[in-house]
């Protein structure tokens, strides 16, 4: 390979910038050219890309978001979009692609790579959702979880001062990873997860027990993918039965995606970006670089997308009710 294009796609995640920096500098160190693509696959289709040098990525380690910008690009799902993207890559003499993103990004990358195998493709797991196989952690998950914890700690202060019950919705799409970790870290009374159905009746019983056990406040975390109809429906159903508490709802929303990357995400981004370029140099394609038992390993993009194999830690799931008695 001689020229790598790098892009970020889908929802941004803290740690993408350290990863872009590592890709650019590792490539240049190895005598390769690097092109930055703006707004993910949209930039490939619209030919919005620029040559990067080692100074293009100065002073970005601490920045949230992504200097390359990102987008969710529907036209790339169509053959026409892929053809145009391929033509633009060829015009620029690009023979390899590093895509940083989540499952939507990888699905697009895999389809593109099967259609045009002459462009080598390596994926970097970049999503706050932590929902990919082949990497214990995805870029941004640690920072987002810390952001959620900081916010919930603050809510706990006011919940406690008023003897209130808060329902807090956190992101994660179909994954309860942020909800579970934040819930355990903040001592949530209950965590509603897409991976493990909680019956509303059980939740009500649990909250009534808490109030008779003299809990002065309660926090229930509801993952956005939970299947009880959303945080407002859950709060309404509980309100009917639990009279001892004044109930409030908070949706943390997009603040969870912003902020300076944690130490963990800066290191992970650097390791994954470095490994992605080295994998391309070694002739790899259609793979994802990921972290497994503190080693950087390659997984096929197909396997990375195998959601059935993605699981939350059993001991964390088990301890939720026990640690909040």
**Mind telling me the catalytic residues?**
129
Part in contact with ligand F6P (CB under 6 A); list of ranges 17-25, 124-132, 192-200, 284-292: 124-132
Q: Give the x-and-dash track for 266-305 against ligand F6P (CB under 6 A).
A: ----------------------------------------
Residues numbered 12 to 51 that lie near ligand F6P (CB under 6 A) are none
Candidates 129, 142, 189, 226; binder of ligand F6P (CB under 6 A) is 129
Q: Least distance from C-beta 52 to ligand F6P, angstroms?
A: 25
Q: State the number of binding residues for ligand F6P (CB under 6 A).
A: 11
Q: Least distance from C-beta 256 to ligand F6P, angstroms?
A: 7
Give the integer Cα–Cα distance in Å for 133 and 301.
9
- Is the CB of residue 68 less than 8 Å from the CB of residue 20? yes
Return the structure tokens found at 219: 């926090």
Candidates 17, 39, 113, 127; binder of ligand F6P (CB under 6 A) is 127
Part in contact with ligand F6P (CB under 6 A); list of ranges 105-113, 165-173, 181-189, 191-199: 165-173
Residues numbered 66 to 105 that lie near ligand F6P (CB under 6 A) are 72, 102
Q: Least distance from C-beta 199 to ligand F6P, angstroms?
A: 24
Candidates 32, 35, 128, 238; binder of ligand F6P (CB under 6 A) is 128
Q: Least distance from C-beta 171 to ligand F6P, angstroms?
A: 3
Site membership for ligand F6P, residue 257 (CB under 6 A):
yes
Candidates 6, 11, 45, 215; binder of ligand F6P (CB under 6 A) is 11
H/E/C letters for each residue in the chain?
CCEEEEEECCCCCCCHHHHHHHHHHHHHHCCCEEEEECCCHHHHHCCCEEEECHHHHCCCCCCCCCCCCCCCCHHHHCHHHHHHHHHHHHHCCCCEEEEEECHHHHHHHHHHHHHCCCCEEEEEEECCCCCCCCCCCCECHHHHHHHHHHHHHHHHHHHHHHCEEEEEEECCCCCCHHHHHHHHHHCCCEEEECCECCCHHHHHHHHHHHHHCCCCCEEEEEECCCCCCCHHHHHHHHHHHCCCCEEEEEECHHHHHCCCCCHHHHHHHHHHHHHHHHHHHCCCCCEEEEEECCEEEEEEHHHHCCHHHCCCCHHHHHHHHHHCC
Part in contact with ligand F6P (CB under 6 A); list of ranges 105-113, 121-129, 182-190, 294-302: 121-129
Site membership for ligand F6P, residue 173 (CB under 6 A):
yes
Site membership for ligand F6P, residue 138 (CB under 6 A):
no
Q: Least distance from C-beta 172 to ligand F6P, angstroms?
A: 5
- Is the CB of residue 301 less than 8 Å from the CB of residue 123? yes
* Interface with ligand F6P (CB under 6 A): 11, 72, 102, 127-129, 171-173, 224, 257
């Amino acid at each position: 390979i001689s020229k790598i294009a790098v892009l970020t796609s889908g929802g941004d995640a803290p740690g993408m910038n350290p990863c872009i920096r590592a890709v650019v500098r590792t490539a240049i160190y190895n005598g390769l050219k690097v092109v930055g693509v703006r707004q993910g696959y949209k930039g490939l289709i619209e030919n919005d890309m620029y040559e990067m040098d080692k100074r293009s990525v100065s002073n970005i380690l601490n920045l949230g978001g992504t200097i390359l910008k990102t987008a969710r690009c529907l036209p790339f799902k169509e053959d026409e979009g892929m053809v145009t993207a391929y033509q633009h890559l060829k015009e620029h003499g690009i023979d390899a692609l590093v895509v940083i993103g989540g499952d939507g990004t990888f699905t697009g990358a895999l389809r593109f790579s099967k259609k045009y195998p002459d462009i080598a493709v390596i994926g970097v797991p970049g999503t706050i959702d932590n929902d990919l196989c082949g990497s214990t952690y995805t870029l941004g998950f640690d920072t987002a979880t810390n952001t959620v914890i900081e916010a919930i700690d603050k809510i706990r202060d006011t919940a406690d001062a008023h003897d209130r019950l808060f329902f807090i919705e956190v992101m994660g799409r179909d994954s309860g990873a942020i909800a579970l970790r934040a819930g355990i870290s903040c001592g949530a009374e209950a965590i509603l997860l897409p991976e493990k159905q909680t019956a509303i009746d059980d939740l009500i019983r649990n909250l009534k027990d808490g109030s008779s056990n003299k809990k002065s406040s309660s926090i229930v975390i509801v993952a956005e993918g939970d299947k009880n109809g959303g945080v407002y429906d859950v709060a309404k159903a509980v309100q009917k039965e639990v009279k001892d508490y004044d109930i409030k709802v908070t949706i943390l929303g997009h603040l969870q995606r912003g902020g300076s990357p944690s130490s963990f995400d800066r290191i992970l981004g650097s390791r994954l970006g470095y490994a992605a370029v080295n994998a391309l140099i070694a002739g790899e394609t259609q793979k994802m670089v990921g972290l497994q038992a503190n080693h950087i390993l390659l997984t096929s993009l197909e396997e990375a997308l195998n959601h059935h194999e993605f699981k939350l830690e059993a001991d964390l799931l088990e301890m939720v009710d026990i640690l909040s008695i």
